[in-house]
Amino acid sequence: MIGANNMNIRKLIIAAAALVAGLAMAPAQAAEGGAHVERQAWSFGGIFGTYDTNQLQRGFQVFREVCSSCHSAHLISFRNLMEPGGPQFSEAQVRALAAEYEVADITADGGRRPAVPADRWPSPFANDVEARDANGGSLPPDFSVLAKARGVTDPFPTWIFNYFTGYQEGGTDYIHALLTGYHEEVPETAPHDFQLPEGKYYNDYFPGHAIGMAPPLADGSVDYAEGEDGQSVPETLEQYSTDVAAFMMWMAEPHLVSRKQTGFAVLIFLVLFAGLMYGTKRKIWAGIEH
């Protein structure tokens, strides 16, 4: 009986050692998706982070002038663009913007009418089949929640710290990396025997590296307006990628700022309340040996 037990203990020690080894090997698994995605400094990162209104406005410009010709964002309404915590365009700007678009409306003459702020952002294609036909068979994903539908698998133990730092910018990090990760030709870092299918493009970060989307942005492809103070933002691929990724995060999480604001009120209340509760509990239990 005791001999069998010793055997068990030995097995258990081996198991525990193997488990530790397994945990240490986790980074190898994280690397499979492609090159390592660099973390960017996002204004909305961390618990105190908020959106940068100017950045969201620039990101919206990139989205509107470039992305939206293929990508839909069907959960976004024009009115969202003037809500607090977002790009915060004025109501007049949003009305004027909406009026530039036509939307289907069976109650209107001819079935179409100019959009109003309450309308959803019009999709570039009527359906998925049309979208695929126009894009060489690839379906451009909808942008509404895309920034939260992508992520980066952090190696152990980094992902444990994420629970305490509230790091949730893996999606935007990935989008930024993807937009800046194109190669004109298949690079030497490509997997052995990699063959780029026709009509596809090589990207360091896209799973499998062959992406259907042509490099959408290049230096100078979008004209940013000069600020009122005469300051200008660099018109570079890097800047565009950061701005549009930030805008996509806002689309996916439009209430991020107010959510965090409420969170501070709730947490401060709970901590103070817990302190009072502890004092009360101590007082009640003071006379009891326990």
Partner 1 sequence: MSEHSTYVPGNAVEKWLDDRLPVVRFAKEHLMDFPTPKNLNYWWTFGAILVMCLGVQIVTGIILAMHYTPNVAMAFDSVEHIRRDVNGGRIIQATHAVGASMFFIALYIHMFRGLFYGSYKAPREILWILGVVIFLLTTATAFMGYILPWGQMSFWGATVISNIFTAIPVVGENIKQLVLGGFAVGNPTLNRFFSLHYLLPFIIAAVVALHIWALHVPGNNNPVGVEVKDSRDTVPFHPYYTMKDLYGMVLFMIPFAWFVFFAPDILGHPDNYIMANAQVTPAHIVPEWYLLPFYTILRAIDFNVLFIDSKLGGVIAMGGAMLMLLIVPWLDTSKVRSGVFRPMFKWFFALFAINFVGLMYLGAQPAEGIYTVLAKVCTGYYFLYFLVILPVLSRIETPKPLPTSISESVLGKTAHA
Answer yes or no whether residue 290 interacts with partner 1 by CB under 8 A. Answer: yes
Binding segment for partner 1 (CB under 8 A), chosen from 108-116, 197-205, 238-246, 248-256, is 248-256
Nearer to partner 1, 19 or 218 (CB): 19
Binding segment for partner 1 (CB under 8 A), chosen from 61-69, 187-195, 216-224, 257-265, is 257-265
Binding segment for partner 1 (CB under 8 A), chosen from 90-98, 192-200, 227-235, 258-266, is 258-266
Nearer to partner 1, 185 or 282 (CB): 282
Nearer to partner 1, 73 or 237 (CB): 73
Answer yes or no whether residue 22 interacts with partner 1 by CB under 8 A. Answer: yes
Answer yes or no whether residue 278 interacts with partner 1 by CB under 8 A. Answer: yes
Q: Is 85 exposed, middle or buried (0-12, 13-18, 19+ CB in 10 A)?
A: buried
Answer yes or no whether residue 259 interacts with partner 1 by CB under 8 A. Answer: yes
Site for partner 1 in 62-101 (CB under 8 A): 74-75, 80
For 157-190, letters b (16+ CB in 10 Å) and e give ebeeeeeeeebbbbbbbbbbbbbbbbbeeeeeeb
Q: How far apart are CA 95 and CA 78, in angstroms?
A: 8
Site for partner 1 in 96-155 (CB under 8 A): 141, 144-146, 148-151
| Shortest distance, position 259 Cβ to partner 1, whole Å | 6
Please select the residue that binds partner 1; options are 87, 171, 181, 216, rule is CB under 8 A: 171
Question: For residue 131, what are its two tokens?
Answer: 């979208």
Answer yes or no whether residue 14 interacts with partner 1 by CB under 8 A. Answer: yes
Q: Which residues of this chain interact with partner 1, rule CB under 8 A?
A: 1-2, 4-5, 8, 11-12, 14-16, 18-19, 21-23, 25-26, 29, 47, 74-75, 80, 141, 144-146, 148-151, 162-163, 166-168, 170-171, 207, 252, 254-255, 259-260, 262-264, 266-267, 270-271, 273-274, 277-278, 280-281, 284-285, 288-290
